[in-house]
């Protein structure tokens, strides 16, 4: 995959379609698409992002999906869909960094996510990012892990963001957090 800075900037503000099975057991909710994600149409597409390596290490998916400039092959998409795993975002607008989002966008995204989860009938939702969760859901003292409240009928988890900017988490610590949510959803035993 290769994009120039100018090519990536041309994707600013675009959205990326949710990857959602008909009956999701586990929905991972990113903060918003990055420019690589918007360019490829694949969630967490930036080459240094640790989302997919953490899913593999946790045993949630059996192998790394292939991501190209043109997207993700159907066989790799099916790997998620057949396992009942969905991927969405709190805010659909692509930016270079999550800190470009406003609190109002995060709050609006939280309200929309609740409606979406209700419609999807998801068993578990895992929001990837404690700060975004605190701001979007008005929970300034929230801690990572399972939350006391549900969201749209789904058991709610807050897990670490896989971005390389979240330097204090490793692939191993991300894998442990994601595995906890996956076990709650019945994706892992």
Q: What is the pLDDT of residues 114-156, one digit of tens each?
A: 999 999 999 999 999 999 999 999 999 999 999 999 999 999 9
| pLDDT cut 70: percent of the chain above it | 99
Specify the range with the lowest mean pLDDT, choosing from 27-36, 50-59, 125-134, 163-172. 163-172
Q: Residue 163: its pLDDT value, please?
A: 86
Integer Cα distance of 184 and 17 in angstroms: 25
- Sheet of 85-89, strands arranged across: 85-89, 26-30, 124-128, 154-159, 145-151
Q: Residue 164: its pLDDT value, please?
A: 76
Question: pTM to 2 decimals?
Answer: 0.96
How does residue 1 score in pLDDT terms, banded at 50, 70 and 90?
low
pLDDT at 66 over 90: yes
Contacts of 173-178 with C-beta under 8 Å, sequence gap 24+, read 174/50, 174/51, 174/54, 175/54, 175/55, 175/57, 175/58, 176/58, 177/144, 177/145, 178/28, 178/54, 178/55, 178/58, 178/60, 178/126
Helices then strands, each counted (H, E), the chain: 7, 5
Q: Residue 110: its pLDDT value, please?
A: 97
pLDDT at 44 over 90: yes
- Domain locations in the chain? 5-185
Is residue 37 left, alpha or beta, with left meaning phi > 0 and alpha meaning psi from -120 to 50?
alpha
pLDDT at 82 over 70: yes
pLDDT at 167 over 80: no
Domain 5-185: what homologous superfamily? Uracil-DNA glycosylase-like domain (3.40.470.10)
């Amino acid at each position: 995959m290769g994009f120039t800075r100018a090519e990536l900037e041309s994707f600013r503000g675009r959205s990326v379609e949710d990857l959602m099975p008909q009956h999701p057991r586990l929905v991972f909710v990113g903060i918003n698409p990055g420019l690589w994600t918007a360019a490829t149409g694949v969630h967490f597409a930036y080459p240094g992002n640790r989302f997919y390596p953490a899913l593999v290490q946790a045993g949630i998916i059996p192998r790394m999906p292939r991501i190209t400039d043109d997207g993700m092959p159907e066989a790799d998409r099916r790997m998620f869909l057949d396992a009942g795993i969905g991927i969405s975002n709190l805010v659909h607008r692509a930016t270079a960094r999550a800190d470009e989002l406003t609190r109002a966008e995060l709050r609006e995204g939280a309200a929309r996510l609740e409606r979406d989860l209700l419609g999807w009938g998801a068993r578990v939702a895992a929001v990837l990012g404690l700060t975004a969760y605190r701001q979007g859901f008005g929970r300034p003292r929230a801690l990572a892990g399972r939350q006391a409240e549900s969201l749209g009928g789904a058991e709610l988890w807050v897990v670490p963001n896989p971005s390389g900017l979240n330097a204090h988490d490793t692939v191993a610590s991300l894998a442990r957090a994601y595995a906890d949510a996956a076990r709650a959803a019945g994706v892992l035993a």
